[in-house]
């Protein structure tokens, strides 16, 4: 994710595995290099994967407020975990850029409570508790 200062523009059909089909503006030299980089490393440029209104696509505005470009991008190798991409138009933080955000869904495995092992059971005997405390008191972190 970052400010690449690259304008991708409208993607060509052969570029769509890396870019999707929804670009904004006219392609620059840096935009062509960014697409080439994405294709070489199997990256997906998320900005172009989601259909947004044109007024919600641009991420940078010129100081005179006449020129708008999409130059900030989020790229990933795992397009399937992203469910939403958006440009946040109403965030005012003293910059000529607008914030971009992607919603991702990570699959986590649910751990079974049956296989949970409680480590507090290991110090049940008085002898083991004393040995643990002796080792703890003799511990020297400088060694």
Interior angle at CA 111, CA 107 and CA 113, nearest 5: 155
What range defines the domain where residue 98 resides? 2-104
Do the domain assignments include residue 89? Answer: yes
Do the domain assignments include residue 142? Answer: no
pLDDT for 122: 66
pLDDT-derived band at 27, boundaries 50, 70, 90:
very high
pLDDT for 110: 76
Integer Cα distance of 137 and 66 in angstroms: 70
Do the domain assignments include residue 133? Answer: no
Do the domain assignments include residue 39? Answer: yes
How many folded domains does the chain comprise?
A: 1
pLDDT for 118: 63
List Cβ neighbours of 39 (8 Å cut-off, separation of 6 or more): 15, 17, 18
Do the domain assignments include residue 46? Answer: yes
What does the pLDDT look like over 39-96, one tens digit per residue? 999 999 998 888 888 888 888 888 898 988 888 889 999 888 888 888 888 777 778 8
What is the mean predicted confidence (pLDDT) over 137-141? Answer: 78
What is the mean predicted confidence (pLDDT) over 101-115? Answer: 81
Do the domain assignments include residue 57? Answer: yes
Give whole-number Cα distances, 82 to 17, 28, 55, 107, 137, in Å: 15, 27, 22, 12, 51
What single DSSP character describes residue 21? S
pLDDT for 54: 84
- 14-18, 67-71, 83-87, 106-110: segment of lowest average pLDDT: 106-110
Do the domain assignments include residue 32? Answer: yes
Beta-bridge mates of residue 76: 44
């Amino acid at each position: 994710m970052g400010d690449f200062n690259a304008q991708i523009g409208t993607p060509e059909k052969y570029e769509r595995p890396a870019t999707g089909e929804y670009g904004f503006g006219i392609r620059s030299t840096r935009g062509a290099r960014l697409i080439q980089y994405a294709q070489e490393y199997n990256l997906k440029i998320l900005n172009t994967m989601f259909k947004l209104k044109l007024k919600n696509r641009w991420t940078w505005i010129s100081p005179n407020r006449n020129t708008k470009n999409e130059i900030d991008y989020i790229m990933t190798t795992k397009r399937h975990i992203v469910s939403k991409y958006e440009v946040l138009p109403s965030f005012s933080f003293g910059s000529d850029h607008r914030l971009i955000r992607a919603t991702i869904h990570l699959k986590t495995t649910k751990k079974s409570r049956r296989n949970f092992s409680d480590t507090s059971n290991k110090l049940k005997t008085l002898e083991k508790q004393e040995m643990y405390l002796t080792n703890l008191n003799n511990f020297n972190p400088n060694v």
